[in-house]
Amino acid sequence: MSCTEMIFNYLLVIAFGAAFVAYLLGKVSQGLRNAFAIIISFVLVGMVAGLHGVSKSVVYFSFFEYPLITRISDFSWLFAITITALTLLSMIFSSSYMKNRSKLDLYYMMMLMVNASMLGIVLAGDLISFYIFWEIMSWSIFILISHNKGEALAAGLKYIIISLVGSLCMLVGILSMFAHFNTFDISQIAVSMSGASAGYIVLILVLFSIAFGIKNGLVPLHVWVPSAYAESPTPFTAILSGMLAKMGTFGFLLIFYVMLGWQAFLYLGQGRLSFHYILCIIAAITIVIPNFIAVLQDDAKRLLAWSSIGQCGYIILGIAFGTSIGLAGGIFHFFNHAIFKALLFLAIGAVEFRTGGIRDLNSLGGLAKRMPITFLATLIGACGLIGIPLTNGFVSKWLIYKTLILNGSPFLAFAALIGTWGSLLAIYKLLHNTFLGQISEKHKDIKRAPFSMQVPMLVLSVAMIVFGILPGLVLQIINRIGLALGFESLSVNLWGIASETGTLNTINIFAAIIIVLFIIYLIFRTGARSVLVSQDDSYAAGSYIPEGKYHYTVDFYDPWDRMVRPWLKDRIDQFYTWVGRISERLAESIRRIYTGDINHYVIYIMLFLAVLICVQLIWRPW
């Protein structure tokens, strides 16, 4: 057995086994547990990296006579390496952030369990394995979201309820395909689906789209996201936003282009009523509304949560549009979003750690000089989210914009552009109200983030710049994925993509930006120096600054907030809450029937028999 075969055969065994070992080690030594979690996460990154370029499948078990299969390809490898890398960085960050907190044995166990289950999902070659790993992931997420109890428990319950709806839809779809094709093997189902009727394909797409849309946070299935992101431990939130939500993206790619094939998916329906275009409309709505709701948030993590929903809209828009460039842009944006959103959550986690848990953007400010590495990481992450050149987010958004414009979809292109303006307003608020302006007296002696927190932020920051200047490192892999899915090859080089309509060359952009930055530096260098003023000597255009909040941008968007807030309420969440209340009242009414008194049950039986007798007398044939 070769080294590659050994890695592939034992990858999931080691990943799942490590979760239980970490829990047991925690009973012996917390330091040993933490070190083991980081080391095993690093080992898993190395094992997955060793599978680069490998295409292989293995039957690892049998469910009755049906084989359970694991498969590796470029498609699954890209997701797997992202999963393991983010988990490693979050584990390193956790060593300081989670220190002295309760239930850490369970925390580290569940973090490794989530990592293992996500690996199982992307490596699954049959639907039984896929569903089992999906459920392990879902329940592990619930435990981690609920880790802090209190409001976190309510957020976890909201997540698991809607997640169970998605799992039920997926299960119905899996059982339906098994009944039709008598197999759980994904490759065999892909062959059999070519002969399925259009109506049946729509049914399968709807069922799986609900399941994957919930995880991805697509509107109107997004309602669990803001509270779950806000209440979960921040190192886990980085994984939750960066990678766990992208399991929905993996699922969409799997059902659209692996199981159905691009022709069956893209030609299902006609024109504006085709399935993929309707999904593009939903993705466009997901881009616009959540990004502007993010602007209204004063809680840093809730702001990033709403922003994450909007960014997932870009991913699905590129993937669902169904062109080679669109697919490349969607997949690349998944990869880029995993990096810059994890970076932003970790940076906010570092601020939260040093300020004693403060996430209110109106209570912060001026932390740039006190926490320079955290500020730099947030600035780079913000640039990636907006799509500033020389960051990875610019390249993926450029590809999505290009495919929308060239293929005659001005409405979708406009929605994507408007969403970027919402992102800009929201991320400016996060960056400015946290790090710029005057620092409050209570934070004037704040310390830098611990080294174990700075390392993951620096790694992710460097990755953003590297993949922004050299996007071909990832686009070459994505191009091979597109070819395997039946799309045309793209002319990819290390610096970007060449096409008949124009060439993306990041080196030229890099040179131009260096020149512009140098000119800006000279202008500011020759200007007047800033003058320090007292803490209370701040100007806010005549607006009253609340006591204890010295930042001059406190409630910066307040006039705009008053105008748009009535229109940007999450009415979908309100609708689900109304349905929940009605269901609760109905269940409470039904519960009153079960009194525990046997005399009441005898009366119920007698009344039921009386009704049957009356029915028989009325309908008795003469």
More confident residue, 522 or 183: 183
| Mean pLDDT to the nearest integer, 220-229 | 88
Q: Look at residue 500 and tell me whether its pLDDT is greater than 70.
A: no
pLDDT at 545: 56
Q: For residue range 116-171, list pLDDT tens digits in order.
A: 999 999 999 899 999 999 999 999 999 999 988 888 888 888 899 899 999 999 99
pLDDT at 535: 53
CA distance 208 to 359: 36
* Tokens representing residue 347 in the block: 């940076």
Q: Look at residue 547 and tell me whether its pLDDT is greater than 60.
A: no
CA distance 183 to 165: 24
| Mean pLDDT to the nearest integer, 99-105 | 86
Q: Give me the residue label for tokens 């190395």.
A: 46
Strands 66-72 and 491-493: unpaired
Phi, psi of 402 (to 5 degrees): -60, -45
Neighbours of 573 (CB within 10 A): 16
For the chain, the straight-line distance linking the first and the last C-alpha, in angstroms and rounded, comes to 81
| Mean pLDDT to the nearest integer, 423-434 | 89
pLDDT at 548: 56
- For the chain, what is the mean pLDDT? 85
**Range with top average pLDDT, 269-283, 532-546, 585-599:** 269-283
More confident residue, 453 or 549: 453
* Tokens representing residue 563 in the block: 């105008």
| Mean pLDDT to the nearest integer, 572-582 | 75
Looking at the DSSP bridge assignments, the partners of residue 68 are 61
Range of weakest confidence among 167-176, 341-350, 567-576:
567-576
pLDDT at 131: 93
Q: For residue range 328-380, list pLDDT tens digits in order.
A: 999 999 999 999 999 999 999 999 999 888 888 888 888 888 899 999 999 99
| Mean pLDDT to the nearest integer, 28-55 | 91
Q: What percent of the chain has pLDDT over 70?
A: 90
Q: Give me the residue label for tokens 């952009």.
A: 509
Q: Look at residue 499 and tell me whether its pLDDT is greater than 80.
A: no
506, HSE (Cβ side, Cα atoms, 13 Å):
25
CA distance 366 to 435: 5
- The pTM of the full predicted model, rounded to 2 decimals, is 0.87
CA distance 526 to 264: 62
pLDDT at 536: 55
**Range with top average pLDDT, 61-70, 189-198, 506-515:** 189-198
121, HSE (Cβ side, Cα atoms, 13 Å):
29
Phi, psi of 498 (to 5 degrees): -105, 140
Say if residues 491 and 497 touch (Cβ distance below 8 Å).
yes
More confident residue, 210 or 322: 210
Reference 329, options 407, 275, 383, 272; nearest CA is 407
Q: Can you say how many angstroms the Cα of residue 572 is from the centroid of all Cα atoms in its chain?
A: 20
Q: Look at residue 622 and tell me whether its pLDDT is greater than 60.
A: no
Cis amide linkage into residue 220, ω under 30° from 0: yes
| Mean pLDDT to the nearest integer, 42-65 | 85
| Mean pLDDT to the nearest integer, 250-268 | 86
| Mean pLDDT to the nearest integer, 546-553 | 56
